[in-house]
Chains A and B, each alone.
Chain A
Amino acid sequence: MPKLTIDELAKMRDRTRRTMVPREGGEFRAKINVHMGTCGIAAGARGVMTALLEEVEKRSLQDVLLTSSGCAGLCSREPMMTVEMAGRAPVKYVNLDPAKAREVLDKHVLRGTVVREYALGVGSEKTDV
């Protein structure tokens, strides 16, 4: 039976808290919105979402919010996602696949450099969630 010590209690708190971040509201460093219309899903948006989720989990990112929304109206360029860094204009990425999505997360979200070769444009729609 794992009887806790006071340090282990604190560790349990930190470990579990990480998984509960989405429930707490508050501010996020970045929001990544994967477009999940029928067109997006057909073009492989689910794989993009899975890859991002794996990265977020692997890197224990507590301030990156993953969300989904409907078709963005540019079905020929799916899968797409919108990256919105706090206080910055959102950037739309097009024709993604899991590897490209991981790259965007690494370069844009974590290091602040927009990956221009996958980007459609800067300053389009904002997401609410």
Chain B
Amino acid sequence: MAEVATQKTYRLHLMVCAGTGCVSNHAFEIKTALEKEVKKHGLENEVTIVPTGCNGFCERGPILVVQPGNIFYQQLSVKDVPHLVEEHFLKGRPVAKLMYVPPAEKTPVPVLSDIPFFKKQVLIALRNRGLIDPEKVEEYVARDGYKALAKALFEMSPEAIISEITRSGLRGRGGAGFPTGLKWQLVRGAASSNGGGKYIVCNGDEGDPGAFMDRSILEADPHAVIEGMVIGAKAIGATAGYVYVRNEYPLAVARLGVALDQARSFGLLGRDILGSGFDFDIQIKRGAGAFVCGEETALIASVEGRLGEPRPRPPYPAQSGLWGKPTCINNVETWANVPVIIDRGGAWFAGIGTATSKGTKVFSLVGKINNTGLVEVPMGISLREIINDIGGGIPGGKAFKAVQTGGPSGGCIPKEQIDLPIDYESLAAAGSMMGSGGMVIMDEDTCMVDVARYFLSFTQDESCGKCTPCREGTKAMLDILTRITEGKGKEEDIVLLQDLATAIKDTALCGLGKTAPNPVLTTLRYFRDEYEAHIQRRKCPAHVCRQLNVYTIDPERCLEKGKGCDLCRRNCASDAISGQKGQAHAVLQEKCIKCGVCADVCAFGAVKVD
């Protein structure tokens, strides 16, 4: 039987972040050390230690938030624990040296809500962030969990649930932004052939490089997803549901499993839910991590035990999905929004965001950004606010260059559009897409041709090979991009890339292929000069494509600053440097293999890259 949460009162609650990021930084060791020290001081009846889901500020993990008071401790290690427990938890003196100090400032910010990273965030999908133990259903319930379910089961008709979701303006958070209410209505209205039955599916196949929104939600608040799915099941008339999640997310799979067991044992899932007479159960289906399985028809094939390949649509899953039955597929974050909408009303949700994009969106902020982490922001917020205010800007004083949204299917948005509001239409107009919420920030040292080549190599690698445009087309595009980055680009390559991109977009079978050219198209649109520099001048302006670099040594600097230290010559693998200790050195261009080691080892800045 599920463990019943203790009813004991504690004066201090130590909320230890136990999301995957912090766990990989030894959060569980820190938790064990806390337990040991708390016991050592006899504080175990006064202080409770609570593992929570992802706090969001992953850059600063491992994280501990002390309640009451919302005191934020960061970058903890096991050796900090004895001092922290004695000083703060026993003697009541918060430890300043373990607190967050914003970059370029000196004074620590003790309270979480005063930290700029958290200030502009609005939490709906992440409403329980850092406040509950995801493995205790009672704590989810205490924060109004399953209240919406009770309302949906006892007070609302399926039609009323669907119209509430429609009123909220919720759109799919997995990428395409299809109106959720409309999707539910289509599935509800679809006739089920051969014996009836409909299915609910939660798409947790998060494959974009650098994206971890779905993983974090499943780890931090699995009951939010379960509750959303049960409400959806009542609305469309489904009796069974599946959560499709990657096996490479072991913590998410484990916590979801615990949550499903608890929900079942308390009658929140399974037969006769809450005594309402409604039956619905959920199974976990683990995927092997193929990117294409995030595409709904490939996902369905994978759940059915077939090869994860897409098929042409129509028919859409709403008419013929899992085992040929009408199926409602929504993304993890979409499901997590549902209980709040039912509890607080569609009109409340629709009051947040823009005219066409309602509510909030969770983004994972990665790349060249000071505050790497997971953020939830209202729709309509500008890129500038996310990057500068929440993200804390670019590290090392570098300049912002572009942001990739929507993963390999999305596009690069240049710095000129930093005031772009984040909503489905604005992102699409800029040539990118909302996607599931990956946001990769790039600085001035990034080569946009290389970025396009990277994303193409990803999609080419992940292409299932079923349709020719995607299988052959992405390969051809990748070959051209590789050629350009190696300094072998041809004058006609840009036109060829554009032609291939258009052809693939028009003819590929599924979303993976249709969107694969987007990174190339957007970089061509906004950074055409970089392509031209590579092709016409054989130069990589960001000096990333090493084959295009020319290394030279400034003889004066080498002699004056470095006294001809000879380190470059000794490290050169191709004997391409002349000179000896005490003399000015020089690069022999005909021998140079452009590995860049001389520039890496020179401590005096004498090696120039052009």
B-binding residues in A (CB < 8 A): 1-6, 9, 12-13, 15-20, 22-25, 33-38, 41, 46, 49-50, 53, 56-57, 65-70, 128-129
For residue B415, CB closer than 8 A to chain A, the reply is no
Contact with A12, one of B10, B138, B275 (Cβ below 8 angstroms): B138
- Least Cβ–Cβ distance between B91 and chain A, in angstroms: 5
Taking a contact as CB atoms under 8 Å apart, the answer to whether B92 and A67 are in contact is: yes
| Known A12-B141, A16-B141; 13 more pairs at CB < 8 Å | A1-B1, A2-B267, A3-B272, A4-B267, A4-B274, A12-B142, A20-B131, A20-B132, A23-B67, A49-B11, A67-B11, A67-B92, A69-B91
Residue of A nearest to B65 (CB): A23
Measured in the bound complex, the distance between the Cα atoms of B67 and A65 in whole Å is 11
Measured in the bound complex, the distance between the Cα atoms of B275 and A50 in whole Å is 42
> In the assembled complex, which residues on chain A have CB atoms less than 8 Å from the CB atom of B131?
20, 23-24
Taking a contact as CB atoms under 8 Å apart, the answer to whether B142 and A16 are in contact is: yes
For residue B46, CB closer than 8 A to chain A, the reply is yes
Taking a contact as CB atoms under 8 Å apart, the answer to whether B139 and A9 are in contact is: no
- Least Cβ–Cβ distance between A65 and chain B, in angstroms: 6
A-binding residues in B (CB < 8 A): 1, 5-13, 15, 42, 45-46, 67-70, 90-93, 131-132, 138-139, 141-147, 150, 154, 265-268, 272, 274-275
- 16 intermolecular pairs with C-beta atoms under 8 Å apart: A1-B1, A2-B1, A4-B267, A5-B274, A16-B5, A19-B9, A19-B10, A20-B131, A20-B139, A23-B67, A36-B91, A37-B91, A49-B11, A69-B91, A69-B93, A70-B92
Measured in the bound complex, the distance between the Cα atoms of B274 and A18 in whole Å is 23
Measured in the bound complex, the distance between the Cα atoms of B143 and A6 in whole Å is 16
Measured in the bound complex, the distance between the Cα atoms of B67 and A25 in whole Å is 8
> In the assembled complex, which residues on chain A have CB atoms less than 8 Å from the CB atom of B274?
4-6, 9
- Least Cβ–Cβ distance between A31 and chain B, in angstroms: 9
Taking a contact as CB atoms under 8 Å apart, the answer to whether B142 and A66 are in contact is: no
Measured in the bound complex, the distance between the Cα atoms of B43 and A34 in whole Å is 14
- Least Cβ–Cβ distance between A48 and chain B, in angstroms: 12
Taking a contact as CB atoms under 8 Å apart, the answer to whether A6 and B68 are in contact is: no
- Least Cβ–Cβ distance between B363 and chain A, in angstroms: 25
Taking a contact as CB atoms under 8 Å apart, the answer to whether A6 and B91 are in contact is: no
> In the assembled complex, which residues on chain B have CB atoms less than 8 Å from the CB atom of A20?
13, 131-132, 139, 142-143
Taking a contact as CB atoms under 8 Å apart, the answer to whether B92 and A17 are in contact is: no
Measured in the bound complex, the distance between the Cα atoms of B90 and A69 in whole Å is 8
Measured in the bound complex, the distance between the Cα atoms of B15 and A77 in whole Å is 34
Taking a contact as CB atoms under 8 Å apart, the answer to whether B92 and A68 are in contact is: yes
- Least Cβ–Cβ distance between B227 and chain A, in angstroms: 12
> In the assembled complex, which residues on chain A have CB atoms less than 8 Å from the CB atom of B9?
18-19, 53, 56-57
> In the assembled complex, which residues on chain B have CB atoms less than 8 Å from the CB atom of A66?
11
Measured in the bound complex, the distance between the Cα atoms of B523 and A51 in whole Å is 67
Measured in the bound complex, the distance between the Cα atoms of B414 and A109 in whole Å is 59
Measured in the bound complex, the distance between the Cα atoms of B470 and A64 in whole Å is 64
Using known A-B contacts A1-B265, A9-B146, A23-B131, determine if residue A50 contacts B91 with beta carbons closer than 8 Å: no
- Least Cβ–Cβ distance between B343 and chain A, in angstroms: 12
> In the assembled complex, which residues on chain B have CB atoms less than 8 Å from the CB atom of A17?
142-143
Taking a contact as CB atoms under 8 Å apart, the answer to whether A15 and B266 are in contact is: no
Using known A-B contacts A9-B141, A13-B141, determine if residue A3 contacts B93 with beta carbons closer than 8 Å: no
